[in-house]
Amino acid sequence: MKSTLVIILLIFVFPLTALEEDLLKCSLEEDKDKRLTCYDQLVSSISKIVKEKKTAELQPVVEVLAQQELSTSKDPAEKVIQEQKKIITTLKEELKEIKTRKKPVEQAIQDESFFATMISVEYRNYRYYFELDNGQRWSTSDTGTRAKLKSGQKIEIVRGAFGASFLKNSKGKFRLKKVR
């Protein structure tokens, strides 16, 4: 027990003293560029050592897992079933990821507001019916002439909650319904 403790301490103490010496050398460098390259080299060498230690630690675990897989799947049909299960789980995860990526895009499309110019405006049955320069046809859900819509007028269509749309102009904000 004591010998392993001494070995562990030696393994950790020697690299630390070497690291301290290298840091001291870098800090004593007068030129900024040379000092920066010295620090960069230290960091890259440390990251290489850490990666090597991690792979060395993971290698026995990988071998044990491979042995367990070989011992559990002696039957070729069982092996195929296990592979199919892995494929199914990865496909399910990818599908979930795609669905989560798709929802914000749909939300962004719904949240967009846009500006347009009215080509034609018609007032009938206490509602305005108008066509925009992009070919869309809309009608106001609010009754009355308060909106004062005219051909050639520039308006803004704003998206609201639950798929609602509103016309916004100098007279206020009016609920809309898309005709086509």
pLDDT in tens, 15-45: 556 667 777 788 788 888 888 888 888 777 7
Mean pLDDT within 128-139: 89
Mean pLDDT within 93-118: 70
Taking Cα atoms as reference points, which of 162, 112, 165, 161 lies closest to residue 138? 165
Sign of CA dihedral 161, 163, 168, 174: negative
Considering the chain, what is the average pLDDT of its residues?
Answer: 76
The pTM of the full predicted model, rounded to 2 decimals, is 0.39
- The string of pLDDT tens digits covering residues 33-86 is 888 888 888 777 777 777 777 676 666 766 766 666 666 556 778 888 888 888
> 112-117, long-range: CB within 8 Å, 24+ apart, which pairs?
112/159, 113/156, 113/157, 113/158, 113/159, 113/168, 114/156, 114/157, 115/154, 115/155, 115/156, 115/157, 116/154, 116/155, 116/156, 116/157, 117/152, 117/153, 117/154, 117/155
- What per-residue confidence (pLDDT) applies to 10? 47
- What per-residue confidence (pLDDT) applies to 134? 85
Sorting pLDDT into bands at 50, 70 and 90, what band is 105?
A: very low
Please report, rounded to a whole number, the percentage of residues in the chain having pLDDT higher than 90.
3
Sign of CA dihedral 35, 41, 45, 47: positive
Q: Spell out the domain ranges in the chain.
A: 2-72, 112-178
| Alpha-carbon span 132 to 114, nearest angstrom | 11
Is domain 112-178 in CATH 1.10.1760, yes or no?
no
